[in-house]
């Protein structure tokens, strides 16, 4: 056995998890993070995904200087990919599939190169750091100039996911190589649930990246809204949830009586439905049988009303399939699942409306002898309120990997994000079987949220090159906004029930890039602090070395499970005796403001809890000075209680800094332990 061998575990497949978002996040060329960082000039973002479509306008190197001399990576040739496709924007391209090939030595990989044949990697890369690309749109929706979060940052692509499969060993190899090549930030939109920490390749590889000073932004997963579904929830990963923006896409439904309804639609073709017959036909209203629908008189000039609820085993996409196969002219759908409003699958003319609007349309159809409707498409609306709203699909904490840290960390835009797409991969489908190509696509998922954070983190690294991954994460978390654009707490709609989002859904809130440049105070942590955390986890020596990635003996003289984190979580037994319990945390904050400063604490306690802070005032005499405080949560578990959120905020006296940390108290369900 090789002396460098540490441990082995079963290789396994991995599951995958723009134009307007920069404006929504208030990035602008005059002030704040964009000009401070030179739009991310010379910072290198590593993208671990399905590869890249290098011909996209988003990856042109217009306006970029020479490649940074510190870059050590390569542009590896392969199938339909040669080194000349790299440039001053796309500075590296590599691919890793030894694990995939080992799973089946006879396998023939169809695209054995860094070229993207899926679209996911191209989309993610352009969200993080796509260059300015004029004339972008998705079949007329979301028109404008596309750009990534850090449009002047460099991109290095590491393809580890192929059409033939995706394996953990290839992911680890890709991330290790990215760190060795000299990337500053990594983004990965893959993950697992319910596997041991010491078998989680992203957690293992990310620990090595953190030890080398590289921040890893990773998607929280799309398993929401159930609690405890979150992936990538270890403390050394920046875990990103998904929320909506203030932009929507629609068609206008006009009833025969003149009433107009603006409703969700992403039908990709430029067409107008004019005075079609509106059909509301009893049992056919479920639209689950294409054969029955085809019997409708004058079907091609008819718009069917299709109803389903969240409780019925019939999705809107199933109904769209039946409508397309039946050759009915189109349909009006009512949604029972909010995720319908995040999907670009729209193969036939139609709109999606709410149950309230459904009643209005039904009343018109029932009272009219010959009900008619017209529909127009390709409409884009800005300033939608409220926004953001936590995506129903966005996975929720707490993290099964490590329950002592609240996850996710932060929320970023992840709903119908416009970004680059391979020109030979269908971006839309009409009539079920006909694919339409586009250079840009609208896609939803926490996969889209993570590269937003990676791009912002890259720019912060450019402004503050001495900041650690923990410092960058802290700056973004403590300046995140927990309020929507109406000034009220951010909401989430889970199974059509709207409620205030807890930090187990949205983390600290929506990222605010410009405030993160100057956070006032940061919660920093060293590599040794994370080693101390590993030492406290009751791991076997083999498991410890698997994660720590070194056969050298680490210093475990000071184990601690209370990492210096900018959030707090306390879990209670919902079957307990309802007595008051107590949990104490110790934190250290570093003054990164311009000089002397005084901060006073402001507390908002979660329901059924009390919070005490000592001291309640922090006085800093100079920049980079550190000060400690303790926070004690006294809480009482109630059997039917759900997660409850609160916060502490350090408010600078006679200054402009506010440093907010979320607090969550939640039941420790048996399924989480």
* Residues assigned a catalytic role: 49, 120, 447
Taking phi first (over 0 means left), then psi (-120 to 50 degrees means alpha), and beta for anything else, what does residue 540 get? Answer: beta
How far apart CA 89 and CA 65 sit, in angstroms, is: 9
N- to C-terminal Cα separation, the chain: 36
Q: Residue 47: how many CB atoms within 10 A of its CB?
A: 33
Listed in order, strand segments (DSSP E) in 11-109 are 15-16, 44-49, 90-95
DSSP states of 536-583 as a string? TS---HHHHHHHHT-SSPP--SS--S----S-EEEEE-TTS---EEEE
Helix boundaries (H) for 276-341: 290-293, 316-326
Cα 651 to the center of its chain, rounded Å: 29
Q: For residues 51 and 91, give the distance between their C-alpha atoms in angstroms, rounded to a whole number.
A: 13
Of residues 367, 326, 373, the one with CA closest to residue 351: 373
Sorted by sequence, the CB contacts under 8 Å of residue 359 that are 6+ apart come out as none
Residue pair 122/116 in contact by the 8 Å Cβ criterion: yes
Nearest to 303 by CA among 328, 286, 282, 337: 328
388 and 290 in contact (C-beta within 8 Å)? no
Coil, strand or helix at 373: strand
> What is the C-alpha separation between 421 and 438, in angstroms, rounded?
7
Query: CA-CA distance, 667 to 48, in Å (whole number)?
Result: 35
What ranges in 294-432 are assigned the alpha helix state H? 316-326, 355-367
CA distances from 156 to 46, 113, 239, 436 (A): 5, 14, 21, 29
Q: Which residues contact 420 (CB under 8 A, 6 or more apart)?
A: 53, 56, 57, 58, 59, 122, 123, 125, 126, 130, 133, 146, 439, 440, 441
Structure tokens at 497: 């029930």
Residue corresponding to tokens 């300046």: 479
């Amino acid at each position: 056995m090789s002396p460098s061998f540490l441990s082995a575990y079963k290789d396994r497949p991995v599951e995958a998890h723009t134009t307007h978002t920069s404006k929504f996040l208030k990035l602008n060329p005059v002030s704040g993070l964009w000009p401070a960082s030179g739009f991310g000039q010379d910072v290198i973002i590593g993208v671990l995904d399905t590869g890249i479509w290098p011909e996209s306008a988003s990856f042109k190197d217009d306006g970029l200087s020479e490649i940074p001399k510190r870059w050590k990576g390569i542009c590896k040739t392969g199938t339909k990919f040669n080194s000349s496709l790299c440039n001053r924007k796309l500075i590296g391209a590599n691919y890793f599939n030894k694990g995939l090939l080992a799973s089946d030595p006879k396998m023939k990989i169809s695209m054995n190169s860094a070229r993207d044949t899926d679209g996911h990697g191209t989309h993610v890369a352009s969200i993080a750091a796509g260059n300015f690309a004029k004339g972008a749109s998705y079949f007329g929706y979301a028109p404008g100039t596309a750009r990534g979060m850090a449009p002047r940052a460099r991109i290095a692509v590491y393809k580890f996911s192929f059409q033939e499969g995706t394996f953990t060993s290839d992911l680890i190899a890709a991330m290790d190589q990215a760190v060795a090549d000299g990337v500053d930030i990594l983004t990965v939109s893959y993950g697992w649930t319910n596997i041991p920490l010491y078998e989680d390749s992203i957690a293992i590889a990310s620990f090595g990246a953190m030890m080398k000073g590289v921040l890893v932004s990773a998607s929280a997963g799309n398993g929401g809204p159930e609690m405890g579904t979150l992936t990538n929830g270890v403390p050394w990963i920046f875990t990103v949830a998904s929320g909506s923006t203030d932009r929507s896409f629609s068609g206008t439904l006009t009833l025969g009586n003149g009433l107009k309804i603006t409703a969700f639609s992403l039908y990709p073709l430029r067409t107008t439905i004019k005075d079609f017959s509106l059909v509301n036909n009893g049992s056919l209203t479920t639209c689950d049988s294409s054969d029955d629908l085809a019997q409708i008189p004058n079907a091609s000039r008819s718009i069917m009303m299709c109803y389903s609820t969240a409780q019925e085993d019939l999705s809107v996409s199933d109904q769209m399939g039946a409508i397309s196969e039946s050759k009915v002219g189109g349909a009006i759908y009512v949604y029972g699942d909010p995720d319908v409003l995040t999907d670009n699958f729209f193969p036939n003319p139609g709109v999606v409306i709410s149950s309230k609007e459904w009643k209005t349309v039904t009343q018109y159809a029932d009272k009219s002898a010959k009900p008619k409707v017209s529909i127009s498409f390709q409409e884009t609306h800005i300033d939608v309120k409220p926004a953001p709203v936590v995506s129903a699909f966005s996975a929720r904490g707490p993290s099964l990997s490590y329950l002592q840290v609240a996850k996710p960390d932060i929320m970023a835009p992840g709903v119908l994000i416009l970004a680059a797409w391979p020109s030979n991969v269908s971006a839309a489908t009409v009539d079920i079987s006909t694919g339409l190509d586009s250079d840009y696509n609208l896609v939803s998922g926490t996969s889209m949220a993570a590269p937003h954070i990676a791009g912002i983190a890259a720019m912060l690294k450019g402004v503050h090159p001495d900041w650690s991954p923990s410092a960058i994460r802290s700056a973004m978390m403590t300046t995140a906004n927990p309020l929507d654009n109406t000034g009220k707490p951010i909401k989430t709609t889970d199974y059509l029930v709207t409620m205030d989002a807890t930090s187990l859904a949205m983390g600290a809130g929506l990222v605010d890039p410009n405030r993160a440049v100057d956070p006032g105070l940061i919660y920093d942590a060293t590599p040794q602090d994370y080693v101390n955390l590993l030492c406290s986890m009751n791991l076997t020596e083999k498991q410890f070395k698997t994660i720590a990635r070194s056969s050298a003996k680490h210093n475990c003289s000071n184990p601690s499970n209370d990492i210096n984190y900018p959030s707090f979580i306390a879990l209670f037994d919902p079957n307990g005796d309802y007595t008051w319990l107590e949990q104490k945390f110790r934190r250290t904050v570093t003054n990164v403001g311009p000089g002397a400063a005084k901060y006073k604490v402001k507390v908002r306690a979660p329901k059924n809890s009390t919070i005490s802070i000592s001291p309640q005032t922090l006085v800093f005499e100079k920049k980079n000075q550190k000060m400690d405080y303790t926070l004690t949560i006294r809480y009482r578990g109630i059997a039917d209680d759900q997660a409850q959120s609160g916060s502490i905020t350090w408010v600078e006296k006679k200054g402009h800094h506010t440093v907010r940390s979320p607090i969550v108290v939640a039941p420790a369900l048996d399924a989480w332990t």
